[in-house]
Structure 1
Amino acid sequence: MGKDKLRRFRENKSFANLYETPFSQVHGKDHPLKGLWGMEVFGNNNPITLELGCGKGEYTLALARGDRLQNYIGVDIKGARLWRGAKTALEEKLEHVAFIRTRIELIDSFFAPGEVSAIWITFPDPQPRKENKRLTAPRFLERYLKFLRPGAVIHLKTDNRPLHDYTREIVERRPDFILLQADTDIYRHRKVPDMVLEVKTFYEEMFLREGKPITYLQFSTGLPATGSPAGGPAAPEPVADDDAVPR
């Protein structure tokens, strides 16, 4: 292991906004902050948005810079990558941002029912040979449902068309999700929310230079009484589909 990575691991332990918990303490057990993230960590009860597999936290940070009325938590297992996101959040005094180092398989140990309003999954590993490891596989969606509030929105942004199609198929056949938007080339059609177009990760920039189309899915756990997905903008009429766009 390189000296720089070791230095980052040591520095991570000093970051007040980075939560690292040993596997043994959350495997089959609740994290001490489960149900308490709002008041104990952020000092408010604002909606919480997660970025799963956040890497350096590029989306977490970008969303947080533009919205201080929600709390943002990036989640990843790679400590050296989280170091960058946590350090930047501290430098920019983004007090409504936190990071968790853990496996996504354990995510339901960290959050209580109804505690999370939205999830972003940006450019995850498509796992072409291991369907069960995809972050939108049914076993992961079941975990998310344990802590998402009614009307919570899940966003998937990827360059991988098979992952996009796979996820859409799963969402459309499940009664506990509503597909809100599907687009297989967001920069060509430009019909997605502004934040989807304006925020670009390192990998997205690389894929765009390679000429790869970027896809997007938005789906919710259902609509609350107000008619708007919790933690997000008013829902479009299901489904806003790029297939209807002239080519």
Structure 2
Amino acid sequence: MLRRKQHRFQHNREAHNVIERGKELYTTIKGHWQEYFKNDNPLVLELACGKGEYTVGLAENRPDVNLIGVDIKGDRIARGSKRCIEKGLTNAAFLRTSIQYMDEFFEEGSVDEIWLIHPDPQPRDKEEKRRLTNPHFLTEYKKYLKPGGLFILKTDSPFLYEYTLEKLKEFDGYEILDHTNDLYQSPLLKDHFGIETHYEKLWVDKGYTINYIKCRVQ
């Protein structure tokens, strides 16, 4: 296991589509994403992207947007980086950092979409400050999204789904466009291009439902 992680960390140091501490772009990329991708296509983030399954899938299905998977775990994003390289995808990159430091990499009003795919629901009351859809994080996302930009949550947690709906309804500046507590039985499933994570597939195969929220910044 340690050897595999070391290989992945080495991959990240050498990969052109991974931006992490120690590389020049890590401190200079803010305000220059269009130069990095060599186009002015819309910028889409997958936060807490893990192995980058959605980042890669969206990049394949949406060649007219630029995808950035953000995660602090280097051994995870290395897998997404490798898949992009293998598939020849040039419209996706991976940023290794914590979500709380987004201001170091993105200007206000510069992002077109933010996706959260199966984040940890942090269900205990004392964990609310760590939920990625709590009021603090919703405020941060709104800051980086353009007017009319989209915030999208997909979760296997009914708790996080209901919690997020409640917070969005209370929050000034977000308009809920669509939501469902059973995505796979909803016409909204087409929004996902058939992309599912490994654990999502296992969850669905056991008969559990997937929850989905799509909203727009006003």
TM (normalized to structure 2)?
0.93
SS in 1 for 2:140: helix
Q: Counterpart amino acid of 1:207? A: W
Question: For the Cα contact (< 8 Å) 2:180–2:212, is it kept in 1?
Answer: yes
SS in 2 for 1:118: strand
Deviations 1:152-197 (A, max 9, x none): 1011001100100110111111121101111001112x22151336
Q: Give ranges in structure 1 of 5+ residues lacking alignment.
A: 223-247
Instruction: Find the aligned partners of 1:67 and 1:15 in 2 and give their Cα distance.
Output: 22
SS in 1 for 2:168: helix
Q: Give ranges in structure 2 of 5+ residues lacking alignment.
A: none
Instruction: Find the aligned partners of 2:103 and 2:141 in 1 and give their Cα distance.
Output: 7
1:25-104 correspondence to structure 2 within 5 Å? 31-39=27-35, 41-104=36-99
Instruction: Find the aligned partners of 1:212 and 1:5 in 2 and give their Cα distance.
Output: 32
What residue in structure 1 maps to residue 196 of structure 2?
Answer: 200
What residue in structure 1 maps to residue 4 of structure 2?
Answer: 4
What residue in structure 2 maps to residue 217 of structure 1?
Answer: 213
Aligned-residue sequence identity (percent) comes to 41
SS in 1 for 2:50: coil
Instruction: Find the aligned partners of 1:62 and 1:212 in 2 and give their Cα distance.
Output: 22
Instruction: Find the aligned partners of 2:15 and 2:65 in 1 and give their Cα distance.
Output: 21
Q: Counterpart amino acid of 2:56? A: L
Instruction: Find the aligned partners of 2:194 and 2:101 in 1 and give their Cα distance.
Output: 31
Offset, 1:90: 1.3
1:98-177 correspondence to structure 2 within 5 Å? 98-129=93-124, 130-177=127-174
Spell out structure 1 runs of 4+ moving beyond 6 A.
none
Alpha-carbon RMSD across the aligned residues, in angstroms, is 1.6
Q: Counterpart amino acid of 1:221? A: V
> Hey, which of these two has a bigger chunk of helix by percent?
2
TM (normalized to structure 1)?
0.83
